[in-house]
Amino acid sequence: MIANTSISCWTEAAESSTWAWRVYGKDRGAIRISMDVIELARHVWSFGVPGVEGFVTYHFHPNEIFPPFLKLFNNPTNEQREKFHLFFHKHGFYDYEAEYRIVLFQDGPVMLRLPDKLIQSVSTSPFGLPNEELNVMLRSRFGEKLR
């Protein structure tokens, strides 16, 4: 099942920490985009790919074997319905991530275009700042959304 699954991970954290920029940006130029979770989910559903979306649970609490408030969409198979919860548990060490995931059940990688209108803001990493050409392109494309 994992071979036929793509996972898109997002955070609810308002700001990226120094640690996150260093780990995920690898001390190079990186950007972070912010979107409304509901609008992002609706956009992904519109492609017709079966999946599930919702927030990750932490600490592996016994009452969270099947995490609450996950939304299945586009008719996943019975096998996918039985196993999807495995993608929504993480060790408590990572609870600072406040992670939201969209899991798509399709041979991947799955590439879905995100229209600019969904993007609320764009931030650049404080480490390994992007080159000037990239800054000009980001400012041209996102204008006031660039932070």
Per-residue pLDDT, averaged over 40-54, amounts to 93
Closest CA to 101 of 44, 53, 49: 53
- 21's tokens: 């920029």
SS3 132: helix
Check pLDDT > 50 for residue 49: yes
Answer yes or no: pTM beyond 0.85: no
The sign of the torsion formed by the CA atoms of 113, 115, 118, 121 equals: positive
Q: pLDDT tens digit string along 97-129?
A: 888 999 999 877 788 888 999 999 998 888 866
SS3 10: strand
Q: Which DSSP category does 62 fall into? A: G
Q: pLDDT tens digit string along 2-12?
A: 667 888 888 88
pLDDT of res. 129: 61
